[in-house]
Structure 1
């Protein structure tokens, strides 16, 4: 009997820590009206930075085509409110795609998006109407900020040459955007495609990562700037080469990298990685000494036998989380994982508001200054049904 009790106690003591041990999620809140038939909301920007916080405000950006043409919208609320503001259309052109947002001080936000082939940036709320065109020809925009220094990244294609660009912006005394500089990450234009760059900024500098086709298949590269994006270190590979086939294999495919600063000197990255026979898994790497450490599988063993999609990252004051969606329950649900006390990935957790019989996908996440988790996702009844945007507040325990 004593042996049995001892075994039970040992079993209890090694139960895996789950993300649910950190956050208690509230009922979901609709972000925008239901889409009409044939209309869809999208949270597909580079780096999946569609939600951000500033002081006691949370703001959300997305693209939908309810007005016939795809446009970019923003909605905002305080943490305590149970309703988002009426969506404000930010884009003014014929069509717009893939917005990204980051929070600044004093309840302000910076948003960037692609509009009619150009890269546009704006601050919200406006003191006066202002947008900046960062590039007349660019796409795949992402954004980050550190102490109100703002950094934006995008890719450009001119004929058969490709490049990744970074802009540094600040705020004027009256709160307007001021472009300080913009530079290419690599000085020479590339003859191979680059896609979906993302950026994270902290005291160390500005980390940029992107998809790169130089190796003949898609690899992830990253580079660091320590001078506000004026110069960059020689790019390195972020994902480890893996092959279980033969010497002619070009390795595992990867896609959709995302990054977030989690402290003054650490950045977490995550991506979809096809190094398993069951399709894409979610892998990550943590920065250390101005580079990145070994690749780590994020999802737990229960998720090993099926593909995973659409990772998103968030971090703040040493806390971090990675979100994704998969079909392990028969329908697509949102799943979360974070580091436990042993700095290992926690057991996967699907918040009740972001799971169930409908399809939940395209998660985006943010962590506020109090450690609360803000979760955003797209929901629809089936693959061809119209969509709806939902939000849930994960209060820190």
Structure 2
């Protein structure tokens, strides 16, 4: 491959793109630029369910199916739904051969994809400038600059690459999520371990929800979601202040459910932002986007899956026709936009039902999408 390609961001989208290109023999031409100083510079996030026709298909294209199956947790597909008073409304468990959406920790997925890839850690990007005749110039945080034939923006919601092709910025959905964690749950909190089960636990109330998800190694992520005006100052509140405000918000819910908040070790407040459902941009030679940088949508399980498949498909397009870089990217973008629009519509409607004035909407949505 004659082209120099830079991937900005080492999340699932960028790593899958680079890994599939590497499998096609073009790894030497791809450089991944990541602002974090090392792979473990910050917590990698919670568990991901990889869908058979999306994330799992991307791993197949990367030649990593067997490695994924060895790491993934099919039992993590289980879902238990309670009412706020603690009544069990649904308790779905996967069959022994059910592998439609097995779970894998984000850190495990990252390490699986990293493999032999060339990642330049600690290389924060501040700006990407498309060239008049194709290609693009990257401006780094330290002032240095480099030019590439193609810059792939896979740098998430706050993308520094997106302004090179689109003036659109994410907007607040009206829903805020606060994340906390429990460690060594089976030993330290056996009652909560039994309550959560092997997969996820969800409790839906009026305009609020609590969701707990098992990760590997006895680690559990808990998400408190609620509708509220955007409060930028709340991000500076301390752990006990946030805990107290959440306990007040969920006052009256069953005591075992509230234990998820009582035992949380730290709290991270994340207002949920999205891009417009049909976000596109004028094709810009030398620059394109993947994943949240291209189509940020509510975090209902589709985002990482779409991002990985997009990365794999873009890589295959370039490998199939490496001489016509621009045409390959243009054709890919058209396919990506059509599929992403459908999923953005579904996830936007899903968030409206999961954090709703009518909690029955969340239960109905589960019944519509869950395997029988």
TM-score normalized by the length of structure 1: 0.23
Greater length-normalized contact order (CA 8 Å, ≥ 6 residues apart): 2
